Each structure stands twice: as C-alpha cells, then as structure tokens.
Amino acid sequence: MDLLSYSAVELAAAIRAGEATAVQAMEAVLSKIDEKEEQINAYVTLDREAALKAAQKTQKKIEAGELTGALAGVPVAVKDNLCTKGMRTTCASKMLGNFIPTFSAQAVINLEQAGAVIIGKTNMDEFAMGSTTETSAYGETKNPYDFNHVPGGSSGGSAAAVAAGECFFALGSDTGGSIRQPASFCGVVGLKPTYGTVSRYGLVAYGSSLDQIGPLTKNVPDCAAVLEVLATQDAKDSTSIRREDTDFTSALTADVTGLRIGIPKDYFGEGLDAEVKEAVLAAAKALAEAGAVVEEFDLSLVKYAIPTYYTIAAAEASSNLERFDGVKYGFRATEFDGLHNLYKKTRSEGFGAEVKRRIMLGSFVLSSGYYDAYYLKALKVKAMIKQAFDDAFARYDLILGPVAPTTAPRLGESLSDPLKMYLGDIYTISVNLAGLPAISVPCGKDKAGLPIGVQLIADRFAEKTLLRAAYTYETLRGAFALCTDPCRGNMPLRRRTGRAASIEDTRFGD
Amino acid sequence: MANIISDETIEYVGILAKLALSDEEKEQAKKDMGRMLDYIDQLGELDTSGVEPMSHVFPVENVFREDVVVNGDGSSETLCNAPEEKDNMFVVPRTI
C-alpha cells in the first residue's frame, strides 16, 4: 500500500478505518521529502521530529475518539505567510528570519481542529510579492515536473509540495493569482474562495482588500473538504463573512446539465500560448458535451485589470509593511544612527528588491498630489471591473478561461523584467479585484510535459457551482498523474478524453 | 517614457517608504517606477466620472463589540521576538 497515492480525503478515511495511522502518513511524507526536497526546496522550515511528534499525538487522540474531524491525521504544508504558534514564520523574507509567532492563523487553527497535522512551512515569493517563488530570501523552489522551471508563485512551495507528494495538501494565499497560477504550473488543484470566506487573522498582510487564503490539493473533492474546514466566520477579521452554505462537499456531483458557461473572448487573444489555448478549450468542450451551455462573450475592461491591481496592491502593501521597522520583531540592522536611521537601515537591508519596488510604487501612488490620479482612479476602475463581472454573471453561472498565458517559465526568465512578469497575471487578477471565487484544475500538459490549468470563475458565494463544475470536469478528464518523475513524458489531454481539441471544431469557436 | 521620475521624487518616496537607497538602487527605482506609471496611465483612457471609488467589494461597516479582554498576558512571549528588550519593554535608540 502506497499511502502517498491517497488523496487527503482518502487518507483520512483510511485512518478512520484503522487501515493506516497518522504516524505512517507523516513517515511517508517525510521519506518523500528526504528523497526530493534537496532538489525541489518546497519548504522553508521543517522540523521532522516535531512533525512526527505531532502525528503521534494526533493518532492517540484519534484512537481515543477525541479527534473525529474530516482531516484527522492528514499531514498538511502551510504557506510561510500564515502564522503558526511556536513555529518560525518568515514570509520568505530576511525581515522575519527569526520570527516565532505567539499565535496561529485562524485558518491553521481550523485545520488543526479538524485533525490535520502540520509538516512545515512552504516557500513563497517574499511577502507573497511575485509570480515565480524566485523572490524568496531562502532560495527558489523548483517545479517538480522540470527542475529548470519555476513552480509559479507566490504559493510556489505549497503547489510544488502537493505535486511532489511532499504533503497531502497545502494552504496558500491568493492576492492576484498566487494560489491558482502555481496550482496550474504544478498540475494540482487550487481554489481562491470568495473574499471574506476564510479568516485572514494571522495571515501576514500584503493587499488586505484582495488577500484570501485557500487550499492547494491533489483533486477537487479534497479541495471541497478543506474549504469546508476553512470557511468559518471569525470576529478577529472584520471582513470575515458569515456563510450558511459551507457544506461544500455536498456539491460534488458530476452534473453540469444546463449550466451556463461563458468564455471571455479577450482571454484567448494575443499573448496566449497555443498549447495552453488548445488544452483550455478542450476542457470547455468536454463540459459542453456533458450538457453545459458554453458560449463566448465580451468581458470588458480585461486589459485594465493589471494596472488597477498593481496600483491598489502596491498601495496596500506600502501601508501594511510599515510595521516592519526593527523594533517589535524580526530583523534589525546592526549599525544605525538614531531611531529614524534604524527604521531606514532595517528596512533597506531586510527587504528584497521586489518588495522595495512595490513599497515605493505604493508610497508614490498614495502620496499627496498623486493620490487622486492613481490610487483613487484605480479604485474607480475596480468598481467598473466588478460591474463587468456582475453583468457577466447575470448571463452565466461560470466563466471559463486559462489560468496563465503560458506554462511555467524557466528559472531566471521572469525577474529581469518585472512588468513582463506582472502581465502573466492577466487572467487571475480581476478575480481578486471583484472578490470572486475561482479554481484552477489541471487540464493537460504541453509538449515539454509541463502542466496546464483551466480556470473556472463563479459569482460571489457560488463556490458550490464552481466545485460542481470542477468536479464534473475532473471526472470527465480522468486521473491526472501527479508528478513522480520529472523526466516522465507527456500525457496529453486528448488521449484521456479520446478527443482532440481545436477552436475550429468547437461550436463556441470563432 | 512619458513619466520621468526626478531625483527629488525618488528622495521623497524614499522618505515616505522609509528606505535608504544606494545610488544604484535609486537609478533602478527611477526606471522601474517610470515604466510602471506609464503602464498604469492606461487607466486614464477610461471615463470614470460618476463612478464611486470602491475599496471593498462588500460594504464594510464598523463591527462593534464590548471591549472585553479575551486573551491573557502574552507580553513575555511577545517580547521574545523583540530585537532588544529591557524591563518588559522594547528598546529603541534615544529619541530626545
């Protein structure tokens, strides 16, 4: 029995049935980590003994009948911008290299209450700012499918850990695509919930009005099960929302009959890689053949999402990251002259280039004289983008498109040109601006064997529709082999679905 | 490039952002920020007159509650993370 082939839900069931133990599951994960971690570098902080001890403790509680949660005994990896009590939390920054939180994020507490066991903390772009996990102060994470490529970001460590079998599922955070894009690049499922569904308490803030925590999993049922555990209202996060319909696993039925799916024409234009386009349209076709009503439409304002996002996110980041001043926690410069100089030197030495870039841009767009022209303007365009989605969801239940314009870029290719890297967020970013839920599901691989994801977007609070469609597609697609060997060949979608895809032979094509 | 960032602007941004930049970093920042602002200027193409700025997708209201202490005294654990502490307080350089 290879425990690592189990999904999180399957593992929990096996542990409940006494066929496996939490300790065996943790041992399996740790041995995979021993085998792969040196090359992949998915984790920033990992304490093998502590993880094993936690698994032993959990197993005892399961046997005593004290722990009956849906995820009891399942090892989980947590993105390193989520506070974990007593466990170092760095945000992949030198600034927090020695920071030990005195409390855990509510999302982490929810997981622990459901019986999940934390393995360690996963690598990310510094303070979640980046799309490749290369801005980490602790080395880049490699894509498990090809070590010469990035895993995506900013939750790249979480996505790589799930893909490589270095955990059974992981937590990430998504401010502009940071769960969905690495999920797509690493061939795993990633979901960004409706804003306010998961408490942000204990998540180190980047862009507070956009940040949302969510799961990265091996399949859609795991995703629903984890979301069910995460989605609770929390008085400690004033933007947290009370939701009545959090029985997400009940939505896992393979039926999309009559579901109206819109495909934004603007998502398939210039800049989209041909292989990505083909795989994503094949997924749309599969859903259409299963009874969904799929058609193209014009989602306006698409090209304005990136400038709007980077203005708002940078503004919020410049404010949120003011707290890192070398006084209360984290890094402090060794040489300084007075308090003000202490702040400046600490921040200059503690932050990496991308973080400084965004703090400076944010400070500028919020400064007097420019506030109206940039920040306020962006907030107005954000309102217009939300309206465009409201109009779309008056006609459609779901929007379907790519997650990213390409498959995972090669290491080192993105950082030389920040603006080019930002443009890669084109299909994910407006979802955060409008507060919508969206999921990335693997839908194929390119010729080089790198995974491709299809993105489904739903209206606010419509996670159940989202999960139902994602589950239906996953069932139609069949098993998507998680990465076991980076040299493994391509397994294109057409072989599994028995049909080739091209826009020409889709009835919603142009 | 439409947006030319002056030395004064970068100095000012450095003060606002509390960052001490080397000359090399300043030059790079001028370039990067100019390019980003050129890109952001696209938003000017849109007529936003009459549009209310939206900071949150949901109407966010003040959440009122009684001011009751629910957590214990965590000061010693909190101070464990301080770069320097003394007598249950954070230590900072002399300010006056």
Three-state SS string across A340-358, please?
HHHHHHHHHHHCCHHHHHH
Q: Which of A160-164, A237-241, A299-303, B51-55 has the highest mean pLDDT?
A: A160-164
User: How close A203 comes to chain B (CA, Å)?
Assistant: 17
Say if residue A14's pLDDT is above 80. yes
- The whole-angstrom separation of Cα A491 and Cα A445 is 7
Chain A residues with CB under 8 Å of B29 CB are 356-357, 360
Asked if residue A29 lies in contact with residue A74, where contact means CB atoms within 8 angstroms, the answer is no
- The whole-angstrom separation of Cα B87 and Cα B19 is 30
Domains of chain B with bracketed CATH: 7-45 (1.10.20)
- Residue A504: band (very low, low, confident or very high) from pLDDT cuts 50, 70, 90: very low
Spatial CA neighbour of A454 closest among A400, A406, A490, A507: A400
Q: What is the pLDDT of residue B1?
A: 56
Q: What is the pLDDT of residue A435?
A: 97
Say if residue A237's pLDDT is above 90. yes
Q: What is the pLDDT of residue B57?
A: 87
Q: What is the pLDDT of residue A183?
A: 98
User: How close B57 comes to chain A (CA, Å)?
Assistant: 6
Chain mean pLDDT for chain B:
91
Q: What is the pLDDT of residue A485?
A: 46
Spatial CA neighbour of A280 closest among A413, A444, A433, A481: A444
Question: For the segment A205-218, what is each residue's pLDDT rounded down to a tens digit?
Answer: 999 999 999 999 99
Residue B63 CA, chain-centre distance (Å), reads 24
Mutate to test the interface with A, among B22, B36, B47, B69 (most CBs of A within 10 A): B36
Mean pLDDT of A232-247: 94
Domains of chain A with bracketed CATH: 3-304+382-505 (3.90.1300.10)
* Candidates A7, A36, A79, A218; catalytic one: A79
Active-site residue, A79 included: yes
- Residue A325: band (very low, low, confident or very high) from pLDDT cuts 50, 70, 90: very high
- The whole-angstrom separation of Cα A448 and Cα A145 is 10
Residue B8 CA, chain-centre distance (Å), reads 19
Active-site residue, A154 included: yes
Mean pLDDT of A374-399: 98
Q: What is the pLDDT of residue A482?
A: 63
User: How close A348 comes to chain B (CA, Å)?
Assistant: 5
Q: What is the pLDDT of residue A499?
A: 38
Q: What is the pLDDT of residue A227?
A: 98
Mean pLDDT of A376-404: 98
Asked if residue A153 lies in contact with residue A124, where contact means CB atoms within 8 angstroms, the answer is yes
Q: How many contacts (CB atoms, under 8 Å) link A and B?
A: 161
Say if residue A232's pLDDT is above 90. yes
Nearest residue on chain A to B95, alpha-carbon basis: A339
Question: For the segment A141-161, what is each residue's pLDDT rounded down to a tens digit?
Answer: 999 999 999 999 999 999 999
Q: Is A308 on the interface with B (CB under 8 A)?
A: yes
Q: What is the pLDDT of residue A483?
A: 58
Count the Cβ atoms, other than its own, within 10 Å of residue A295: 14
Query: Which residue among A336, A363, A433 sits closest to B93, beta carbon to beta carbon?
Result: A336
Chain B residues with CB under 8 Å of A358 CB are none
Q: What is the pLDDT of residue A507?
A: 43
Chain mean pLDDT for chain A:
93
Q: Is A360 on the interface with B (CB under 8 A)?
A: yes
Say if residue A497's pLDDT is above 80. no
Q: Hey, what are A495's tokens?
A: 């072989």
Question: For the segment A47-93, what is each residue's pLDDT rounded down to a tens digit?
Answer: 999 999 999 999 999 999 999 999 999 999 999 999 999 999 999 99
- The whole-angstrom separation of Cα A252 and Cα A435 is 23
Least confident of A4-13, A361-370, B22-31, B64-73: B64-73
Question: For the segment A458-495, what is each residue's pLDDT rounded down to a tens digit?
Answer: 999 999 999 999 999 999 999 887 655 443 333 333 33
Sort A395 into a burial class: Cβ within 10 Å, 0-12 / 13-18 / 19+: exposed
% of chain B with per-residue pLDDT over 90: 73
* Candidates A7, A104, A178, A184; catalytic one: A178
| Whole-number Cα distances in Å, A422 to A49, A142, A214, A418 | 40, 20, 22, 6
Nearest residue on chain A to B64, alpha-carbon basis: A238
Mean pLDDT of A99-127: 98
Query: Which residue among B56, B83, B84 sits closest to A239, beta carbon to beta carbon?
Result: B56
Range list of β-strands (E), A112-259: 117-122, 169-174, 189-192, 212-217
Say if residue B3's pLDDT is above 90. no
